[in-house]
Amino acid sequence: MELISQIKKKGHRVTQSRELICKILEESGHAHFTVDEIYQKVIKKNSNIDLATVYRTLELLGEIGLIAHLHQAHGSGIYFLKNNENTMHIICINCNKILDVSSKTYNKINSLLIQETQFTKIHNNFIYSGACGNCK
């Protein structure tokens, strides 16, 4: 598992709980999850793992740069495996469908912000929201 090897490489302990959480994340690809959704998947495989362990593991994976965490205005945080693209996300307020916003759009928005604010580097950890085409 790539996540496990990265945890070891960074000098952190690898426990059975961490292995299971990492396996679930890796098998899910670029899927987006709340902590509770990950926890529900974890306890189906091992009911001895508590919610605090899931939070701590996600925090560690975020600290070492393997996953990203987005904030919603009035909802749970969203976690997903990082990839090489800078992506923004948008979530439907009705059906909770999450879409990646293209790098092209991300770069356009950041360019506008850089022009307006004179900042040189802009990062975000929030998620846009609206109604998707199916939910209008």
Tell me the per-residue pLDDT of 28-73, one tens digit each, with 9 for 90 and over: 988 899 999 999 999 999 999 999 999 999 999 999 999 988 887 7
Do 73 and 10 share a domain, yes or no? yes
- What is the distance between the alpha carbons of residues 84 and 68, in angstroms, rounded to a whole number? 12
Sign of the torsion formed by the C-alpha atoms of 107, 113, 119 and 123: negative
pLDDT of res. 86: 60
- What is the distance between the alpha carbons of residues 23 and 45, in angstroms, rounded to a whole number? 11
Q: Is residue 107 part of a domain?
A: yes
Do 47 and 8 share a domain, yes or no? yes
Do 57 and 21 share a domain, yes or no? yes
Do 61 and 111 share a domain, yes or no? no
pLDDT surpassing 80 at residue 125: no
Domain count, the chain: 2
Q: In the structure, what pLDDT confidence band is assigned to residue 127 with cuts at 50, 70 and 90?
A: confident
Q: What are the counts of helices (DSSP H) followed by strands (DSSP E) for the chain?
A: 5, 5
Do 66 and 33 share a domain, yes or no? yes
- Rg, C-alpha atoms of the chain: 17
The overall average pLDDT reported for the chain is: 90
Q: Is residue 6 part of a domain?
A: yes
Q: Which residue range is the domain that position 41 belongs to?
A: 2-81
